[in-house]
A and B are shown apart, each in its own frame.
Chain A
């Protein structure tokens, strides 16, 4: 079994998986169909203000698991769907940003700056085309980097990292995520601590479920779906409803603009956009590969760098950034779209999720079973087929299929999504809430799960009020179990060496870096204040 054999098996796993129907005698695998449905759902959800990719993933996951069951055969269709949603939502987010000046997803905010002015000038369709072209380019670039880097990084980790170094690496990732996400490192660390504390309740190695206060309800710990969906989705729903209540819903219909002139992208225009797309794709990919820094920062950085270049190179009659420059849209969309692929590098090679979409991929893998994202996935075994590696290459294939869909039908579908903005948010949000609670219940089948989710939702709400980012909480919750496990194993494997974290140069380096990163960001913050 060589590398090429594995790649080929992965491709086959997607195309020859369980057959749904056939066209002219050609079988169409269920995975292909799921990627397509996911992609279209993603665009629609991204184009709806108030919804985002993670919400669609959260609601769809239990339904998908019941359709496909708890077998390894379920992994590719379910995760293919999620990948489709992830990619679709990224381009969908640009639609309301350009047409109505309301970003569909947070990272599309920068798109409004030039997109809406273009709409006002009667160039809406052109702006959408620019967004689609840049987004798809960034996405493709990012996927290529993922496929080259992930296996390589995993092999490095597996070859050089023993139990102590793996523990140190987890500590480094948590510190990094805590210090970098959101505006305040202190609050990031606090959020990380809360997430860890939550995952340690009811778990542990002793037969007594620790910190359960003797209660049977807490003795199984908090199911991962309740904390992740509670803090990420229910908390967000509560917060958005409060904002809506404050706004008392602005009435009236959005102003209408009619398109004028040629809306197509010429070859010359594409050439003009390419340098902006290229830079932003590089920025987005680099940022995406680091766990925890999301597409919003990528979009901001891409936009800023693009603006600097544009100011230097533009000719006099071309609009500035912020006044309807297509380069502005290109710089933003290429950056935020190139995050998604690269974000899977830490997920697949280390098992460390970096953003909400990655969190749901891990959730899917955990719920279905048979695939544990992490370095052990990339074991190129010779005699026996490593099924997890086949799945990994199947996922890569799925990403390229979603990419191809993006290039072919994505633009067309995206331009028809302008209607989604009319959906009344204040009715949509409670529906999403009930859907989320139902989704949690059908997976856990006990009412405590709903209470837990609601509690985490309230926590998520309070965190948002206090401007504490919920993402470190969620990532800490996911990594906390792994952290304790690997620390125990490192300790036992080294024969009870209390200084196991400092037993090798690599792990000393990781620990030093994690302390450094927290001190550095804290110092910087103090300086800024």
Chain B
């Protein structure tokens, strides 16, 4: 029986990454070495713990290469799975961006139309402004994800998404005074 060489590749990549972390990332990006001397006392520096973490990675990678190269239970990763995963993540990213910027954008448009000088930051705890981002972005997220799985876009999905996002907003926002729906903590 022909084995997949998935474990071999994974082990090799892990090993390479661990070496990169130990010899490049950690030395360049920590303030103190493995151990250091302060106040006439030798103490553990900030580089030691990540080095040990990377050693775990290296040991894991080495074990994959040495012991489990020919294991039976190696997963076969299809490019389909990877692409679908990417599509899922991309949908979420897009929706979160909408969530983050649609509120401030609405205010700017409002300002343009009315000549006002409202600031989203100061209105982020005031209805209806505070709901704009969450409702738009959330509805978009659920609609996109459901449509991806179903392989088609339906008006019904949009409706279900909007209703469930509204319920969610109500659960988190109405009863609690000091909970901020996304993105209202940032702006």
For the complex, give the distance between the alpha carbons of A248 and B149 in Å: 8
Which B residues touch A238, using CB under 8 A? Answer: 85, 88-89
Q: Which of B11, B46, B58, B161 contacts A210 (CB 8 A)?
A: B46
For the complex, give the distance between the alpha carbons of A178 and B71 in Å: 18
A-contacting residues, B154-175, CB 8 Å: 157, 160-161, 164-165, 168, 171-172, 175
For the complex, give the distance between the alpha carbons of A356 and B57 in Å: 22
Q: Which of B18, B26, B149, B181 contacts A441 (CB 8 A)?
A: B181
A-contacting residues, B126-165, CB 8 Å: 134, 138, 141-142, 145-146, 148-151, 157, 160-161, 164-165
B42 touches A484 (CB 8 A): no
Q: Interface readout for B81-112 with A: 1 if CB under 8 Å, 0 if not?
A: 11011001100110010001000000000000
Does A458 have its Cβ within 8 Å of any Cβ on chain B? Answer: yes
Does A373 have its Cβ within 8 Å of any Cβ on chain B? Answer: no
Residue of B nearest to A200 (CB): B50
B50 touches A492 (CB 8 A): no
A213 touches B183 (CB 8 A): no
Residue of B nearest to A435 (CB): B168
CB distance from A136 to the nearest CB of B (A): 31
Residue of A nearest to B72 (CB): A529
B-contacting residues, A236-252, CB 8 Å: 238, 241-242, 244-245, 248-249
B43 touches A492 (CB 8 A): yes
Which A residues touch B185, using CB under 8 A? Answer: 441, 444-447
Q: Interface readout for B34-64 with A: 1 if CB under 8 Å, 0 if not?
A: 0100000111111111101111111111011
Q: Which of A183, A207, A427 contacts B160 (CB 8 A)?
A: A427
Which A residues touch B14, using CB under 8 A? Answer: 190
Q: Which of B55, B92, B160 contacts A433 (CB 8 A)?
A: B92
Q: List 23 A-B contacts (CB under 8 A).
A: A63-B176, A187-B64, A193-B59, A204-B46, A206-B30, A206-B45, A210-B29, A210-B46, A210-B47, A241-B149, A242-B85, A427-B142, A427-B160, A429-B145, A430-B161, A437-B92, A437-B96, A446-B186, A465-B82, A483-B49, A492-B41, A496-B43, A529-B67
A193 touches B60 (CB 8 A): yes
The range of chain A's interface size is 35 or more
A245 touches B160 (CB 8 A): no
CB distance from B33 to the nearest CB of A (A): 11
Residue of A nearest to B73 (CB): A183
Q: A484-B44, A526-B67 are in contact. List 20 more A-B contacts (CB 8 A).
A: A186-B64, A189-B56, A190-B57, A193-B53, A197-B53, A210-B50, A238-B85, A242-B81, A242-B85, A430-B142, A433-B141, A441-B181, A442-B181, A445-B185, A447-B100, A451-B96, A461-B85, A465-B77, A491-B44, A492-B43
Does A13 have its Cβ within 8 Å of any Cβ on chain B? Answer: no
Does A271 have its Cβ within 8 Å of any Cβ on chain B? Answer: no
A185 touches B63 (CB 8 A): yes
Instruction: Give the interface SS of chain B, mostly helix, strand, loop or mixed.
Output: helix
Which B residues touch A435, using CB under 8 A? Answer: 168
- A residues engaging B (CB < 8 A)? 62-63, 66-67, 178, 183-194, 196-197, 200-201, 204-208, 210-213, 238, 241-242, 244-245, 248-249, 426-427, 429-431, 433-435, 437-438, 441-442, 444-447, 450-451, 454, 457-458, 461-462, 465-467, 476, 480, 483-484, 487-488, 491-492, 495-496, 498, 518, 522-523, 525-526, 528-529
Q: Which of A186, A426, A438, A480 contacts B63 (CB 8 A)?
A: A186
Q: Which of A245, A438, A488, A492 contacts B84 (CB 8 A)?
A: A245
Which A residues touch B148, using CB under 8 A? Answer: 241, 245
**Which residue, of B45, B72, B185, has the highest number of chain A Cβ atoms within 10 A?**
B185
Residue of A nearest to B96 (CB): A450
Residue of A nearest to B51 (CB): A200
Given contact pairs A186-B64, A447-B186, A491-B44, A196 touches B81 in the complex (Cβ within 8 A)? no
Does B70 have its Cβ within 8 Å of any Cβ on chain A? Answer: yes
Q: Which of B46, B58, B68 contacts A526 (CB 8 A)?
A: B68
Across the A-B interface, the 10 shortest Cβ-Cβ residue pairs: A445-B185, A193-B56, A190-B60, A196-B53, A186-B63, A193-B57, A430-B145, A189-B60, A496-B42, A204-B46
Does B6 have its Cβ within 8 Å of any Cβ on chain A? Answer: yes
Which B residues touch A433, using CB under 8 A? Answer: 92, 141, 145
Does B31 have its Cβ within 8 Å of any Cβ on chain A? Answer: yes
Does B19 have its Cβ within 8 Å of any Cβ on chain A? Answer: no
Q: Which of B21, B46, B81 contacts A205 (CB 8 A)?
A: B46
For the complex, give the distance between the alpha carbons of A528 and B67 in Å: 10
Which A residues touch B44, using CB under 8 A? Answer: 484, 487-488, 491-492
Does B12 have its Cβ within 8 Å of any Cβ on chain A? Answer: no
Does B16 have its Cβ within 8 Å of any Cβ on chain A? Answer: no
**Which residue, of A438, A465, A488, A491, has the highest number of chain B Cβ atoms within 10 A?**
A438
Does B180 have its Cβ within 8 Å of any Cβ on chain A? Answer: yes
For the complex, give the distance between the alpha carbons of A88 and B92 in Å: 31
Does B118 have its Cβ within 8 Å of any Cβ on chain A? Answer: no
**Which residue, of B68, B96, B186, has the highest number of chain A Cβ atoms within 10 A?**
B68
For the complex, give the distance between the alpha carbons of A379 and B10 in Å: 46
Q: Which of B46, B59, B92 contacts A189 (CB 8 A)?
A: B59
